[in-house]
Amino acid sequence: MSSALTWAQLRDLKCGELEGAADGWGRSSNRADAARDRIEQQLLTGLRDTQEGEAAQAAVGRLRQLGRNFQYVYTECGLLRTTLNSLAHEMRTQQRALRDALDDAAALKFTVHADGSVTYPAGGEGLVDGAPLRGGTAASSGSAGLTAPSGLVAPNPHAGKAQDIADRVTGAVRAAAEIDWRYAGILRRLKAEDGLKVPASTWKDAAGDAAEVRDAAGAYLKDAIPRDASPMERRDWWAGLTQEQREEYLAVYPDQIGNLDGIPALVRDAANRDNLSLLIGKLEGRDDDKSVTQLAGLREIERQLGAATKPGEPPIFLLGISDEGNGRAIVSYGNPDTSKNVAAYVPGLNTSLDEDFAKNDLKRARDTAIATRDIDSSSATIAWLGYDAPQLIDGRESLAVMGNDRADMGGRSFSHFMSGLEAGNGNEDPHLVAIGHSYGSRTVGSATQQSGGIPGVDDIVLVGSPGVGVDRAEDLRVGEDHVFVGAADNDLVTKAPSKLQGNMTAAAGPVGFVVGGLLDRHDDDLWFGKDPASEAFGARRFRTDEGPGVLTGGFAAHSQYFDRNGEDSASADSIALIAAGRADKVKVEESR
């Protein structure tokens, strides 16, 4: 279509041909996706299992690159499909507006000319002689309506109707021309570089392509995404889409579909793996601290997703990824939709989307998953970084760890996420567990105070906790016998001074915190309420290793609760038993 669009061209436009072309690009996208899956699920696995040496390693590297290339083809072809479908959708809207105007003209026996002007017949009566008023031609000036007549001249009653039709015809054509121009630019830019390799710079361009198509296709797709719905409503929405609609949402909105609670885990994983590549491309080349930090974390997650899964290890599902705030990442070891036992671990202080999280926090979830699956194979464990945990980086930021705001916001998000797990799990009565470490336990505590508690959660595990915001285990709404606490003797965070004591020692910084903790050794009150390990709180305290002392190991005792093969296997084994639904086997010890 040319820029000099006529109403006849708009009327005769075959939107079905645009949609047919979109279907062709969709088939190409699906073939690329199938090829990528074959490389990752069959060729790479077979090569790793049967071949060794430098040649095999080189082949693995080439296959990974080929898989990324197919992923790029999948993404770009999917964007082309949605662009063409969105173009057809918007053009049809203008076609309907044009046809309605033409139908009205035909019914009134008006003539619509090639330039959009409308001729109307004589009509009405003159004020003096009563004779019909002459007909005429109305042409749109771009604004609807006629100027009201003055004096004693009566208007031809057809004139206003003709002017309205002329304005509607011109408006539809002008809108269609703008749509045509806008989409032509997008389609010209959806062009890959020459060559067989897709470098990081190309993924950066792909991120820009996706953003541009999202903006253009807003009326076509985005408005239908149930962002404000419940997880169950989102689950039903996704189930009601056609396969083509699902493919388009995945191609254009992987960031939204991948982070939408209630969407199936397999779908979220596919969307987030694509969004991971787009995020890496987006952050590549930036030199600000946040981008550099998050890029390192994203690359480590990407490495783990591409690594071979050893026998007995659970498959990895990427349930969430984003550069929002300090970063978001939700990684599941095992499929949470099919597993009978699902545990979600919430990390705490100083956690963000960085390399340390990707290596250490994910390892905690992975180790817990392996240990849990040894007890019951139908188990999955999730590392949930779905909020901005407090960061001890500078004085201003460190104040967040002393307050409830981060926990309250995170608690709402965690509750919503767990509601999604409950809605998506296919077992009749799944066993869900919330695990909070450090400030993450305060976040879990806040989640329990949402309406109805944490959806579906049967057991709660608190380790290294500075308090959870309530003074009794029963206030966590799962029953005090279903609240389990691990508190190492040398973990000073579990002896964080109460607010009164803390205010007296905070000015002294970390040293004051240590001294305050020592002073608080026999007190039941912590910063965020009653000590969860105390008798007064009423939870079941399981055995942990005491950990190294603060003078020799610093805060090492605070980080070893999940270390199954290291310093605190007793704690790690207890967490695994609880996650597997075998809390009756947990060895308890006296409360403080």
What digits encode the pLDDT tens for the residues 452-461? 899 999 999 9
Distance (Å, whole) CA 86 – CA 249 = 12
Identify whether the C-beta of residue 410 lies closer than 8 Å to the C-beta of residue 388.
yes
pLDDT at site 392: 73
End-to-end CA distance of the chain: 79
- Helix, strand or coil, per DSSP, at residue 250: helix
Chain segment 191-210, per-residue pLDDT in tens: 776 766 776 677 777 778 88
Distance (Å, whole) CA 508 – CA 498 = 15
List beta partners, residue 333: 316, 381
Provide the 8-state DSSP code for 377. S
Tell me the percentage of the chain whose pLDDT exceeds 90: 58
Q: State the average pLDDT for the chain.
A: 86
Q: Which residue has the tokens 């380790």?
A: 463
Distance (Å, whole) CA 213 – CA 190 = 10
pLDDT at site 131: 73
pLDDT at site 566: 67
Nearest Cα neighbor of 433 from 542, 342, 561, 541 is 342
Mean pLDDT value across residues 20-48: 88
- DSSP states of 166-206 as a string? HHHHHHHHHHHHHHHHHHHHHHHH--PPSSS---HHHHHHH
The first and second tokens of residue 371, run together, are 């240990």
Among the residue ranges 47-56, 160-169, 381-390, 423-432, the one predicted with the least confidence is: 47-56
pLDDT at site 497: 66
pLDDT at site 217: 79
Identify whether the C-beta of residue 433 lies closer than 8 Å to the C-beta of residue 460.
yes
pLDDT at site 129: 66
For residue 511, pLDDT over 70 is answered with no
For residue 223, pLDDT over 70 is answered with no
Identify whether the C-beta of residue 417 lies closer than 8 Å to the C-beta of residue 261.
yes
For residue 283, pLDDT over 50 is answered with yes
For residue 147, pLDDT over 50 is answered with no
Tell me the percentage of the chain whose pLDDT exceeds 70: 86
| E runs forming strands in 464-583 | 483-486, 525-526, 529-530, 540-541
The first and second tokens of residue 506, run together, are 């905070």
For residue 126, pLDDT over 70 is answered with no
For residue 399, pLDDT over 60 is answered with no
Confidence class for position 152, pLDDT limits 50, 70, 90? very low
Mean pLDDT value across residues 495-510: 50
Mean pLDDT value across residues 303-315: 83
Confidence class for position 266, pLDDT limits 50, 70, 90? very high
Chain segment 81-122, per-residue pLDDT in tens: 989 999 999 999 999 999 999 999 999 999 999 999 999 998
Identify whether the C-beta of residue 574 lies closer than 8 Å to the C-beta of residue 565.
no
Chain segment 59-89, per-residue pLDDT in tens: 888 888 888 888 888 888 989 998 999 999 9
pLDDT at site 514: 43
pLDDT at site 347: 97
pLDDT at site 42: 81
Provide the 8-state DSSP code for 133. B
pLDDT at site 151: 45
- Helix, strand or coil, per DSSP, at residue 523: coil
Chain segment 532-547, per-residue pLDDT in tens: 999 999 999 999 988 7
Distance (Å, whole) CA 70 – CA 273 = 13
pTM, to two decimals: 0.81
Distances (CA, A) of 494 to 87, 101, 361: 59, 74, 19
- Per the document, the length of the chain is 592
CA dihedral 406, 412, 413, 418 (to 10 degrees): 130
Mean pLDDT value across residues 491-510: 57
